[in-house]
Chain A
Amino acid sequence: MNDLTIQRPVARPGFVHEVNERTPALAVQTGSAVHLERFPIGTTVVYPAEPTVPAVLARPAIREALTAPVDSEPLATRLAGAKKVTIVFGDTTAAVPATDGVAARGQAIEEILTLAAAAGVDDLALVCARGLQRRLTEDELLAALGRRVHESFAPLGLISQHDAEADDLVTVGDSTDVVAINRRVAESDLVVTVQATDSRSRTGSHLLVELAGVSALAAVRGHDAEAGAESALGERLAAALPVFAVEIALDSHPVTDQLAFLTRREWEWGLKEKLSLKALQTADQWLPARSRARMLQQMTTTTAVLAVSAGAPLEVGARSREVLVAKQRVIVGRQVNTLVTGLPQVSAHGVGAWLNPLLAAHLALAEVDGSHTGTPFLADGGDLIVFGGAEPRYHHHHTATADFVSQVLPGVDAAALAAAERRFATDSWYRHLYQHGEAHHALQPFHLWYQTAAARQRLSSIIWVGGDRETCAAMGFRSATTLADALEMVGDSSALGHLHNPPLPIVDLVDQR
């Protein structure tokens, strides 16, 4: 193998630190605000792995994966027999600031196009599998695909975005088990999915699920959905469609390089880092909300490719997941009964918009609480203390979320929730905004809320530090002003834990597996 790697120090893996007398105040990052908090002695702090220095070159790895795929014939062979090929790429909802440099996804698509041209395919189109997320703007498509791909296909109108509410969806699958999916994809001879992600929940058949119609998506994520319904749907679609999956496992750096020290251990900070932190805190204190949001959204960062795999979707997904877990897994000895965490500025479901209370709740209760390999870090009946993100400020991408939090949630029970879900699903204004505007689908807030149900049921209380009281009360949370007050509100904080994020470490509780 061509050794093109440059000698650089390897990023250190994550580890567990138990707070003692010499531990300085730790940085709890909540978007643009960074709080320095002194934790009580004995707190279990889980640090994530440091961001990977980019070493693997994307293009050779992609070529290799395409010629030697997993559980499938090489792509060139599969393209040879196909007349109508569709390349499906994922929405760019990677919850990080924008990346500079050439997108790995774009490179993969270029390689595929080269092979397709060689195989003589003339009917080729690109579909963005956005599911119930919002439409992408031209700029976002350009960033996702790269200039060359975009300029080849956009003028001819060959880049389309999947519309889950479209009237012309085609059903696939066995006669008993039909699913309506995107017309172009259903009628293709070969579907090549290209996914570049840093999240282990977006691997495997995720892109195929995002091509389904709104009724199927509502069935697997809605009120009456069973656990594992989504992966079952993915398996059905993988079996029903001729799919060749290409997946690039990424490690995206969560903050821009100037602020990279925030992901490192606090006791290794020097004078320069402390001054940078002071500047950041002052800017956050004095700038108005709009400027703060723009400041973060305009920062660019880098991504490192961890691995590239191609072939059958489910196996490829398993491989990517293995690599991603291995990157961020931290072995922890014991569970805690109170967990303190901050939140990143951007949620995967709200790129380009400021964080709103529902997205913050989803980040805390689905992502942070679900960041483990089987047994949660926070024991059942424990308390979760969250910093930041509960200001009731809604972007016009999240019109439905604004109405959901302010009108549906306060004092709602299961029956009213189901009725509201039906009402939102049939509303014509929300539909218009999803299909032609830039809003997420009206069912998105409901699905996000259901994903937090598991955590809300098993935890005894969820306390928001610095949140808007009314909104917290509407969602059933409590709110405190400082960490000290929150700890006092908690019943039993004998075993206190803190997940240092971003990036989010994946907790592996060895002894209690």
Chain B
Amino acid sequence: MSLTVDRSPAGSFGVRQVATTGPELDGRLKDLLDGQLIVMTGVTGFIGEQLLWKILTELPTTRAGVIVRRKGSQTAEDRVLSLLKKKIFADVVAAAGSREELVAERIVVIEGDLPNVPELPEDLDVVLHCAGDVSFDPPIDQAFTTNVIGTQRLMERMLEATARSGKTPHYVHVSTAYTAGRRRGAIPEAAHVHDIDHRVETARGMELRAVVENQSRTSERLTQLREEAEVEHRQAGLLTTADDTERRRRAWVEEELVKAGTERARSLGWTDVYTFTKALAERVVAEIGAEIPVSVVRPAIVESSWKHPYPGWIEGFKMAEPLILAYGRGDLPEFPASPDSVVDIVPCDIVVNATLAVCATRPEPGKPEFYHLNSGARNPLTFSELYSHVRNYFLAHPFSGGDKGIPKLPVWKFPGAAAVEKVLTSTERKHKIGEAVLRRMPRGTTAKALAKTLDKTRTRLDFLHKYLGLYNEYAQSELHFVDDNTLRLHHCLHADDVEAFAFDSAAYDWTTYLEEVHCPSITEPVRRMDALRRKRGNRATTMKPLTPRAEGEDTPSDVVAVFDLDGTVMTTNVVEQYLWARLPELNTGQKIAEVASLVKALPGLLRADKRDRGGFLRAVYRRYEGADLAALESYVDHQMAGHILERLAPDAVRRIRDHRAAGHTTILITGVARPLTRPLAPLFDVVVAADLATDRNGRCTGYLATPALVGESRAAWLNHYATLHGIDLSKSFAYADSHSDLPWLSVVGHAVAVNPDIPLMRAAQKRQWTTVDWESTPQTPVWVMPPARRRHTTDTDTESRDHADHLKGE
């Protein structure tokens, strides 16, 4: 023991080691547990896996009975076998010959889960309950099911099994130190004092799901959710909106149940529903185990191992990892923690060793033994110390950061929770303003850059909200868990067991643990992913280069390339095209009148476009009433073709011709009237356009012959076409520019977003679609109309009389 001033919480009491009495270990653990069957849950989890490993390697005559759930098509046996594939089991598998032989020898696989615990083997000696919900914010009913009801059923099964065999089992319950809830100060190793009836709470908690489900199905709630979905998906179609509404409803139900759990826990003095239900489970254990030996083990924050199986062993990410990694990436500018609050981290192997030692003890029936497995009592790590260790580590071994160089490590000043909250709210506000600006911006490079920045800010804000909300309590706790009982048990270890089973949490120093064991271990997979991503490149690859077909190959291809027209292949719109067809025939006065009438109708047209693209198209095509369709077609061929061809994007034409050369079928799907697509007809094999209905004399009625294909109808058409012609849509290509085209872009395997609007750009980024810019620079400006049809003075020619009426005019 050192002679320096003992500043640890335990030391503040003056007396260093309180000699508690309790069950002892009289012999080596492997002898104490010789021939016994330890039935354990949670073997697929972090602590459970190491427990199994330790049993298999250090307790050669002890058998492990593992309760494992079936997952999908994998049986429990399969899952155990695949668990044994992990590296730490390699030696023990080799020693047994094969995994199956190892299982046959040492492991009893029991298929089942909590709360449907199956029958347990009669000859069990110890039941070690290690399983629990892994997340901090599960819905309330799920928390109760797993932690409270599950424990209850397990114990009931255990008692049933031992009733048949006559043995007295030892029940070891792995709880958590934070069942202390919002208490402060020294927490003794004893049952928590409170008067909460776990039965009532469980019953009410389980009822809540039905209540919330009912609430989610009221018409007000559903209307609100539907309106939210419509704002985003209206233009895409009704089915998409319906899907999204249902998704939102389910998300709302889960959210409400999570909130209910958190609030119930807080109203009773716990930080979250996880610790609350764990505390209730301890009560259940004390009740049901009133006649048998019971031990409760309470680990604090369990992190990677100190020594066994190797320094830094960890499975998955636990509590501190997301924060450490976010800090290393420069994404965590501050943390609302008190710099002097104790972060009670305990390495995993200490927890495992202690638990197995506890399994080997024999407490008095009816007097549960509690053990705190933490470091804060005698080897405290304050938050500012944790920060400086992590910072030192990253200064020495920074993340590589890719093409932006090493990220800048933030310097924390611990201003307190209120200051951090203020920064967060102001960032949220700025983000909202940014989104409002973005919605009103026209498409372009500035809009894209702004969208990217806003998306990055959004992910960062979401991360901070989630983790700061979750860890706020833990970061400001003033808890001090007394672990004298654990220390006493550690000193009871046989001399030969100390090497393998030591669990004194003051026996290591934090510098070595954090900077040389823990941080390197958790950053290693991230570094590997970074290196892989650098090599592979994070490029979207749906715009594949095309190879021309070999000469003479004649088999019809099963690939199609589908193109949208407005904004993708051509930079124009239906209103402009209508004006090209209409204005040249009019004199100046009539021109002004026509443009004025269109300008008056424009707001209505734009509103119609926002609501329903089909309605907008119908409104524009009403103006074609009375036009002679044949004359319109000939007008397009001779006078308007130049205007149309000028606005084609050269890159689009090249891509279409590349598809042609590769033998693919090129399809144009558009809401533009068919006569106006005539100059482009040679480029496409199939043109799907709006057909203007005509009467007997060949004059347009102003209505469409068939509904214009927009949004989901295009997806349906495409699917039908593919079935009829044997097209493989997963190999096909699609090119479009707006969010309302999302349904049919999702149908093909290679979708490309061309000059996308912001919602489509975000969707494309999420789905890894390529985004391209196809520009066209026409020489004639927008206001120049195609030349009028030449009027000839001879009237012996019957054609010349009708040539001027290709649109309703005089």
A residues at B contact (CB < 8 Å): 137-139, 142, 151, 154-155, 289-291, 293-294, 353-354, 393-396, 399, 402-403, 428-429, 432-433, 436-438
Say yes or no: is B792 at the interface (Cβ < 8 Å to chain A): yes
Contact A154 B790 (CB under 8 A): yes
Q: Inside 8 A of A291's CB, which chain B residues have their CB?
A: 781
Q: How far is the CA of A155 from the CA of B795 in the complex (A)?
A: 10
Q: How far is the CA of A336 from the CA of B757 in the complex (A)?
A: 57
CB distance from B309 to the nearest CB of A (A): 60
CB distance from A423 to the nearest CB of B (A): 10
The stretch of B44-52, B496-504, B573-581, B647-655 in contact with A is B647-655
Say yes or no: is B22 at the interface (Cβ < 8 Å to chain A): no
**Would you give the 0/1 interface string for B780-794, flagging 1 where the beta carbon is closer than 8 Å to chain A?**
110000010010111
* 15 more CB-based (< 8 A) A-B contacts, given A395-B779, A428-B682: A142-B790, A151-B792, A290-B777, A290-B778, A290-B779, A290-B781, A294-B781, A353-B779, A394-B650, A395-B646, A396-B646, A402-B650, A403-B654, A429-B682, A436-B641
Q: Inside 8 A of A428's CB, which chain B residues have their CB?
A: 682
Contact B781 A399 (CB under 8 A): no
Q: Inside 8 A of A402's CB, which chain B residues have their CB?
A: 650
CB distance from B798 to the nearest CB of A (A): 11
CB distance from A438 to the nearest CB of B (A): 5
Say yes or no: is B679 at the interface (Cβ < 8 Å to chain A): yes
Identify which of B778, B779, B780, B793 contacts A151 (C-beta below 8 A).
B793
Contact A155 B787 (CB under 8 A): no
Identify which of B642, B777, B792 contacts A155 (C-beta below 8 A).
B792
Q: Inside 8 A of B653's CB, which chain A residues have their CB?
A: 399, 429
Counting chain B residues whose Cβ lies within 8 A of the other chain, the interface size class is 20 to 34
CB distance from A244 to the nearest CB of B (A): 29
Say yes or no: is B657 at the interface (Cβ < 8 Å to chain A): yes
Contact B683 A429 (CB under 8 A): yes
Say yes or no: is B645 at the interface (Cβ < 8 Å to chain A): yes
Q: For residue B682, which residue of chain A has the nearest CB?
A: A432
Contact A437 B657 (CB under 8 A): no
Known: A353-B779, A436-B637. A139 touches B682 (CB 8 A): no
Q: Inside 8 A of A138's CB, which chain B residues have their CB?
A: 638, 787, 790
Q: Inside 8 A of B645's CB, which chain A residues have their CB?
A: 396, 433, 437-438
Contact A293 B683 (CB under 8 A): no
A sample of 28 cross-chain residue pairs with beta-carbon separation below 8 angstroms, ordered by A number, consists of A137-B642, A137-B787, A138-B638, A138-B787, A151-B792, A151-B793, A154-B790, A154-B792, A155-B792, A155-B794, A155-B800, A289-B777, A290-B777, A290-B778, A290-B780, A353-B779, A393-B777, A396-B648, A399-B650, A399-B653, A432-B682, A433-B645, A436-B637, A436-B641, A437-B642, A437-B645, A437-B679, A438-B642
Q: How far is the CA of A190 from the CA of B637 in the complex (A)?
A: 33
B residues at A contact (CB < 8 Å): 637-638, 641-642, 645-646, 648, 650, 653-654, 657, 679, 682-683, 777-781, 787, 790, 792-794, 797, 800
Q: For residue B790, which residue of chain A has the nearest CB?
A: A138
Q: For residue A432, which residue of chain B has the nearest CB?
A: B682
Q: Inside 8 A of B654's CB, which chain A residues have their CB?
A: 403
CB distance from A111 to the nearest CB of B (A): 22
Q: For residue A407, which residue of chain B has the nearest CB?
A: B654
Q: Which of B648, B683, B790 has the most CB of A within 10 A?
A: B790
Q: Inside 8 A of B778's CB, which chain A residues have their CB?
A: 290, 396
Q: Inside 8 A of A432's CB, which chain B residues have their CB?
A: 682
CB distance from B679 to the nearest CB of A (A): 7
Q: For residue A139, which residue of chain B has the nearest CB?
A: B787
Contact A293 B641 (CB under 8 A): no
Q: Which of B654, B779, B794, B797 has the most CB of A within 10 A?
A: B779
Q: For residue B657, which residue of chain A has the nearest CB?
A: A429
Q: How far is the CA of A442 from the CA of B259 in the complex (A)?
A: 70
Q: Inside 8 A of A154's CB, which chain B residues have their CB?
A: 790, 792
Known: A396-B642, A429-B657, A436-B637. A354 touches B790 (CB 8 A): no
Q: How far is the CA of A294 from the CA of B783 in the complex (A)?
A: 13
Known: A137-B787, A429-B682, A437-B679. A155 touches B779 (CB 8 A): no
Q: Inside 8 A of A403's CB, which chain B residues have their CB?
A: 654
Q: Inside 8 A of B638's CB, which chain A residues have their CB?
A: 138
Of all A-B residue pairs in the complex, the 6 with the closest CB atoms, nearest first, are A155-B792, A432-B682, A396-B645, A396-B646, A155-B794, A138-B790
Q: For residue A290, which residue of chain B has the nearest CB?
A: B781
Q: Inside 8 A of A142's CB, which chain B residues have their CB?
A: 790
Q: Inside 8 A of A395's CB, which chain B residues have their CB?
A: 646, 779
Q: Inside 8 A of A139's CB, which chain B residues have their CB?
A: 787
Q: Inside 8 A of A429's CB, which chain B residues have their CB?
A: 653, 657, 682-683
Q: How far is the CA of A353 from the CA of B793 in the complex (A)?
A: 31
Q: Inside 8 A of B792's CB, which chain A residues have their CB?
A: 151, 154-155
Q: How far is the CA of A34 from the CA of B511 in the complex (A)?
A: 74
CB distance from A106 to the nearest CB of B (A): 16
Q: Inside 8 A of B679's CB, which chain A residues have their CB?
A: 437
CB distance from B784 to the nearest CB of A (A): 8
Q: Inside 8 A of B787's CB, which chain A residues have their CB?
A: 137-139
Q: For residue B776, which residue of chain A has the nearest CB?
A: A396
Contact B682 A293 (CB under 8 A): no
Q: Inside 8 A of A290's CB, which chain B residues have their CB?
A: 777-781
